[in-house]
Amino acid sequence: MSTLQNRTAKSGRETFTSGLAVFFATLGSAVGLGNIWKFPYLTGQFGGGAFLLVYFLCILFVGLPVMLGEFYIGRKTRKNAVGAFQQLKPVSGWKHIGTMGVAAAYLIMFFYSCVAGWVYYYLYKAVKGDFIAITPESVKTQFTDVIIGPVSPILWQVIVMAVVGGILILGVRKGIERITKTLMPLLFVLIVICGIRAITLPGAYEGLKFLFHVDFSQLSAAAILTAMGLAFFKLSLGMGTMITYGSYFTADNNLFGTAAKVALSDTIVSMLAGIAIFPTVFSFGMEPGAGPGLLFMTIPLVFSKMPFGNLLLIAFFFLTSIAATTAMLSLVEVLVAYFSEELGFSRRNAAIINAVIICGVGMLAALSADQASLLGNVTFLGRGFFDWFDYISSNILLPMGGLFIAIFIGYFLKKDDIKKELSNQGNLTIDKLIDVYFVIIRYVTPALLVIVFLNSIGIIKV
């Protein structure tokens, strides 16, 4: 290998090969357990339609602008989350936004890898035929058995991390790009099938009503903060993932277009998951606010008593494992890019070390996911490890990262530089759009974030 190639491989500075690859890889990061697991259960817990409406507003006025900002920072600098800030503002504390992102990546991975382990395990159980004669009662027992363990949830978490680490060692093109481009479209088709099946169940209407009926009396400060946090989590924002991915984008990619397409497609997938899950919940007389087990206790029922039901169930959990895996690739890529570019590790060692750290600490999430688990009773201020990892990352670190990124883009960089990069050196005529973008990222996005934070700690009331 020539010295130059060597250096490229070592620093991980590959790019995706085409616009389509950029789209699917970015969508692969956005679409994951967030759509299929988290979005439905939070919508269920926080009362349906009104939560959904706030969520949409967060995507539009906060998520999209921050996503574009991250793409800009990444592609302009072609660096990892920490190095990118460092390059744009060398002697300053801004690089700590990147450091905060690294911390968020760990916290998310600690619980995400655990839930992904449950999904892999469900896939295995579906293949074994465990769900063939499933009933609303036995589906609950199955779920509790899977998460209590204590050995099996940890074992599956380790398997998950071995897969993620292995793919990351392969690199950006051979690993991330190839997997996302093939399997994302398939997932979409399967969720549509799931949705169609669910809305033809008896009593499905009640579920759709729950999802779409807006009742503002259901909207608490906690619900608004959670919707905001979910928007960040969903679009993989506020922690440098989209900076890192942006750094692999092709130079001629239309960043506005990619951000809009990814946010829209991601939201469609979440809605489809909601349409598959809520009619099932109501049709089988289950509880929409059942919490993190919602996905696992409903989907086996969607396919029960249906021709080829078990086969479809296998396909569903296979594709959900893929969605979870591609999202984790982007999460761990933040760490791998940081370790290899800033700390001098090889890509391979960076992937291995991080997989080990995530398994080691993530075990605490796996052992505290249920009251009956080994660490189920260990709580601090009312939350166990699993919940704290999730709460601190989604509801605090990501929105805070987003706030700093909006301020950084809006007030600390030259508008002309940003204009140049977003218009691909003047090749796209999007002057008006950029002006609107600047108004939003300077005033609207930070104001909304601050209001949501203050509202959540009770300083103001909305």
Task: Give whole-number Cα distances, 13 to 82, 111, 244, 348, in Å.
Answer: 15, 29, 10, 14
Residue 244 sits in the site that holds ligand PFF (CB under 6 A)? no
Beta bridge partners of 215: none
Residue with smaller CB distance to ligand PFF, 134 or 294: 294
Task: Say if residues 211 and 278 touch (Cβ distance below 8 Å).
Answer: yes
Q: Which one of residues 22, 25, 27, 33 is an interface residue with ligand PFF (CB under 6 A)?
A: 33
CA-nearest of 248, 350, 303, 343 to 19 is: 248
Task: Say if residues 418 and 72 touch (Cβ distance below 8 Å).
Answer: yes
Residue with smaller CB distance to ligand PFF, 67 or 331: 331
Give the residue at shortest CB distance from ligand PFF: 34
Task: Say if residues 340 and 10 touch (Cβ distance below 8 Å).
Answer: yes
Task: Give whole-number Cα distances, 456 to 5, 448, 462, in Å.
Answer: 50, 12, 10
Residue 71's φ and ψ, nearest 5 degrees, are -60, -45
Residue 331 sits in the site that holds ligand PFF (CB under 6 A)? yes
Radius of gyration of the chain (CA): 21
Q: How far is the CB of 354 from ligand PFF (least distance, A)?
A: 14
Dist. CA 380–CA 414, nearest whole Å: 44
Q: Which stretch binds ligand PFF (CB under 6 A): 24-32, 159-167, 219-227, 378-386?
A: 24-32
Residue 267 sits in the site that holds ligand PFF (CB under 6 A)? no
HSE-up of residue 213 (Cα within 13 Å, Cβ side): 12
# residues contacting ligand PFF (CB under 6 A): 15
Q: How far is the CB of 216 from ligand PFF (least distance, A)?
A: 26
Q: Which stretch binds ligand PFF (CB under 6 A): 28-36, 202-210, 380-388, 423-431?
A: 28-36
CB atoms within 10 A of CB 189: 11
Q: Which one of residues 12, 28, 34, 153 is an interface residue with ligand PFF (CB under 6 A)?
A: 34
Q: Which one of residues 119, 172, 191, 239 is an interface residue with ligand PFF (CB under 6 A)?
A: 239
| Residues 350-389, mask of contacts with ligand PFF (x by CB under 6 A) | ----------------------------------------
Q: How far is the CB of 239 from ligand PFF (least distance, A)?
A: 5
Residue 241 sits in the site that holds ligand PFF (CB under 6 A)? yes
Q: Which stretch binds ligand PFF (CB under 6 A): 229-237, 336-344, 405-413, 452-460?
A: 229-237
Residue 269 sits in the site that holds ligand PFF (CB under 6 A)? no
Q: Which stretch binds ligand PFF (CB under 6 A): 70-78, 326-334, 357-365, 366-374?
A: 326-334
Task: Say if residues 316 and 118 touch (Cβ distance below 8 Å).
Answer: no
Identify the helix (H) or strand (E) that includes residue 123. Answer: helix 95-128
Q: Which of positions 104-143 make contact with ligand PFF (CB under 6 A)?
A: 108
Q: Which one of residues 12, 32, 175, 300 is an interface residue with ligand PFF (CB under 6 A)?
A: 32
Q: Which one of residues 22, 59, 319, 327 is an interface residue with ligand PFF (CB under 6 A)?
A: 327
Residue with smaller CB distance to ligand PFF, 233 or 278: 233
Dist. CA 351–CA 332, nearest whole Å: 8
Q: How far is the CB of 331 from ligand PFF (least distance, A)?
A: 4
Which of helix, strand or coil describes residue 341?
helix
Which of helix, strand or coil describes residue 222?
helix
Dist. CA 238–CA 331, nearest whole Å: 12
CA-nearest of 250, 249, 257, 243 to 428 is: 257
Q: How far is the CB of 96 from ligand PFF (least distance, A)?
A: 17
Residues binding ligand PFF (CB under 6 A)? 29-30, 32-35, 108, 233-234, 236, 239, 241, 327, 330-331
